[in-house]
Amino acid sequence: MKRILLILALVISGATISPVAPAAHAETLAGQTPVAILVTGRGFGHGRGLSQYGSLGWATKFNKTWQEILDFYYGGTTLSQLTETDAGLSPGCKITIRLTTLDGRQTAVLSDNATLTLAGDTVPGRKWAALVAREIPGTVAQYRVWGSTVPKCPVAAKTPEESGFVLVADVPTTASFATTLSDDPTTAVVPNDMVGLCEPSGSVRYYRGVISAVNGTDGENRTVNTLRVDDYLRGVVPRESPASWGDAANGAGMNALRAQAVAARSYALSSNGYSYAKLCDTQDCQVYGGAALRDKVDGKLTVLEDLRTNAAITDTSGFVMRDAAGKVVRTEFTSSNGGRTAGINFPVRVDDGDVAADAAELRWTNVISKSAIEKKYPEIGVLVSVVTTHDGLGGDWNGYATSVAINGTAATKTLTGWEFRSAFSLRAPWYETTPIYGATADAPVVGSMLFIGDSVGESIRTEFESIVLPAYPTTNIQVATGRCMVGATCMGQPDGLSIINSLPAEQTPAIALIELGYNDMSLSYATEIDQVVAALSARGVQRIIFVNMSTRRQTADYGTMNTMLANAVTAYPNVSVFDWNGYSADPAEWRWFVKDDNVHLTATGQTEFALFLRGQLDTLRNQGLLPLTP
């Protein structure tokens, strides 16, 4: 469904108000240019191949096996075991991973139990607690290695000697480090037997297998991890799908993890990213976190592998997806597809599993300001419209966005759906664009407005400026984290009452919009409402609007406080209440709120709250309840 602005009226102003129909777009908005573009979308990620949340939904809501899940997402492929003919995909059953945080930097490693060795050491059998390789100045792929008997990370800006290291050897081409057991998947203990890699942030990340300093294609410094394929997957699967999913639905969620393991294995073996490594460790390939992490050399240890994902890897060991020719398939996967796969390399599927999983990004909204579009594409001149074309393969808006035409007074800029998604950091390429306009040409010009808010109001400042301000341009925005209606002890100072009392006479607004209460106490809230109304009325403010509070947070008495706000509507004829609690009460709108917080808003919630305020203000304007500019 397309929307221009909000349709349903949820304003309390002394009487029950019926829903208000939207303005007739062609008549009232003819000739106007948009002030912003609303983007409504579905899913998170590219939507191709397996949906991670969809896998969870199929496993836990529909009791599907991992084999059935893979067959659903990778239509036209076959599940099979690796054979000797696949040996070329992982020579020696090993895989190589570019560790991107070390790009262009030294390769420094340590061992908690001082069992590090340098491959090709001129003194065989020597063991170290720390080693560092740096390319010898003036050479290409010639490394000098220093060692320490104490596990530590050398300071990159100093010589190794200044950090307490001694010269070990010069080595050609590659400097490779391992511990006695780092390449043994059965007996190695995390982290003692792992190779700890010193990261630029000061943290130490532990890896199975071998860590090497190498040169990239253009002679740049690179750090590479070489290890067994399934050992690599131990660091991938829990980074891509939460290991806790394995406990869902009495263990049925393990099938989602098993499907993820096969998808990750096939993706890895079908990749060939660099001359020196098969894959990288970021989402540009698939996320790989290693075995464990410390925030500093002697810091607290966080084990990154998990018994549940390890079990999923073992349960599916050797399984891959193949095409009709027997080739291992590049099995892409995505977080959530929003209820329909993107297709492209695999058949389009309506994904009931993804919908059933109800991911936070199953549905989302975003707003892009006119100025942001014009700044990114100045050649268009003044923005006139944004028109999105879809793939026609079904679902909301008849499918994923394939192209976006940004029309301006000087030119049209046409992007692919993916390019527009990337340009404005949208969650997925399945979306629709809808114009947001300022006040209609025939709308009455209303007086100035004061908007006082707390952290919720502060969080929507950008959205407020894009959605509300163009229609109510003379708004004084006063928002701060921790602000109370009344209260000198609140973190956000000054409080709402003090802001009102400190306004110069020439800044007295015609309208006050108050979004406060989450930081107040219910015992004093009714009195605080009276104080604020009295202060605003004494200054001649003609319309006072309070926004009530979401009652999703069960530990607070916001319901009682909302009743106090409703009572103020009866007590004061110039008071209205915007019913945010009612508007956001649908169970599906949980995704508007930060999980386990239920007050503060997600990015989608911030856009929706700003749209809500705009819609409610427009309703009051249309009803003649907002004072007009003299």
**Tens-place pLDDT, residues 531-544:** 999 999 999 999 99
Q: What is the CATH number of the domain that holds 518?
A: 3.40.50.1110
Beta-carbon count within 10 A of 369 CB? 21
Hey, how many other C-beta atoms are within 10 angstroms of the C-beta on 284?
Answer: 11
Pair 98, 150 in one domain: yes
Closest CA relative to residue 238, chosen from 286, 276, 295:
286
Residue 276 and residue 375 in one domain: no
Mark whether 604 and 458 lie in a shared domain: yes
Residue 30 pLDDT = 60
Q: Is the pLDDT of residue 254 over 60?
A: yes
The separation between CA 227 and the C-alpha centre of its own chain, rounded to angstroms, equals 30
**CA 587 to each of CA 379, 554, 590, 593, 615: distance values in angstroms, whole numbers, following the listed order:** 44, 14, 6, 11, 21
Owner of token pair 């014009």: 374
pLDDT recorded at residue 7: 33
Q: Is residue 558 part of a domain?
A: yes
Angle between helices 307-315 and 229-240 (to 10 degrees): 130
Count of domains in the chain? 3
Assigned token pair, 345: 């390399």
- Give the residue from 506, 619, 630 showing the smallest Cα distance to 20: 619
Residues 461 and 424 in one domain: no
Structural domain includes residue 403: yes
189 and 214: one domain? yes
What pLDDT, on a 0 to 100 scale, did the predictor assign at position 630? 60
Percent of the chain past pLDDT 90, that is, above it, reads 88
> pLDDT for 471-480, tens place per residue?
999 999 999 9
* Percentages of the chain per state (helix, strand, coil), in multiples of 5: 30, 25, 45
pLDDT tops 60 at residue 5: no
The secondary structure of residue 103, as a DSSP letter, is: T
pLDDT for position 440: 86
What does the pLDDT average to over 176-195?
93
427 and 456 fall within a common domain: no
Q: Are residues 432 and 453 in the same domain?
A: no
Q: Do residue 461 and residue 432 come from a single domain?
A: no
Residues with Cβ within 8 Å of 495's Cβ and at least 6 positions away in sequence, in order, are 483, 484, 485, 486, 487, 488
Residues 425 and 464 in one domain: no
Query: The domain containing residue 285 runs over which residues?
Result: 78-243+271-306
Is residue 21 over pLDDT 90? Answer: no
pLDDT of amino acid 24: 32
pLDDT of residue 1: 34
The predicted pLDDT at position 22 comes to: 32
414 and 282 part of one domain: no
**Structural domain includes residue 341:** no
- Asked if the structure places residue 318 within a domain, the reply is no
**Cβ(97)–Cβ(117) below 8 Å:** no
Do residue 378 and residue 516 come from a single domain? Answer: no
Where does the pLDDT of residue 29 fall: very low under 50, low under 70, confident under 90, or very high at 90 and above?
Answer: low
Instruction: Answer whether residue 206 is part of any domain.
Output: yes
> Looking at the predicted structure, is the pLDDT value of residue 10 above 60?
no
Q: Please check whether residue 285 is in contact with residue 274, taking contact to mean a CB–CB distance below 8 angstroms.
A: no
- pLDDT digits 0-9 by tens, 349-391: 999 999 999 999 999 999 999 999 999 999 999 999 999 999 9
Predicted local distance difference test score (pLDDT) of residue 493: 87
Residue 255 belongs to some domain of the structure: no
pLDDT at 16 over 90: no
Q: What is the pLDDT of residues 30-83, one digit of tens each?
A: 678 999 999 999 999 999 999 999 999 999 999 999 999 999 999 999 999 999
Between these two residues, 10 and 88, which has the higher pLDDT value? 88
- Bridge partners (DSSP) of residue 349 are none
293 lies in some domain? yes
Span of 427-431, 444-448, 582-586 with lowest mean pLDDT: 444-448
Q: Considering only residues 170 and 186, tell me which one the structure prediction assigns the higher pLDDT.
A: 170
pLDDT of residue 12: 53
Instruction: For Cα atoms 547, 537, 623, give the angle at the middle one, nearest 5 degrees.
Output: 55
Query: Is residue 315 included in any domain, yes or no?
Result: no
Q: 369 and 477: one domain?
A: no
Q: What is the mean pLDDT of the chain?
A: 94
* pLDDT score at 238: 98
The average pLDDT across 305-328 equals 98
Residues 6+ apart with CB under 8 A from 260: 50, 52, 55, 237, 240, 241, 312, 333
Could you tell me if 4 and 391 are in contact, meaning their C-beta atoms sit under 8 angstroms apart?
Answer: no
Cβ 189 vs Cβ 227: under 8 Å: no
Residue 310 binned pLDDT confidence (cut-offs 50, 70, 90): very high
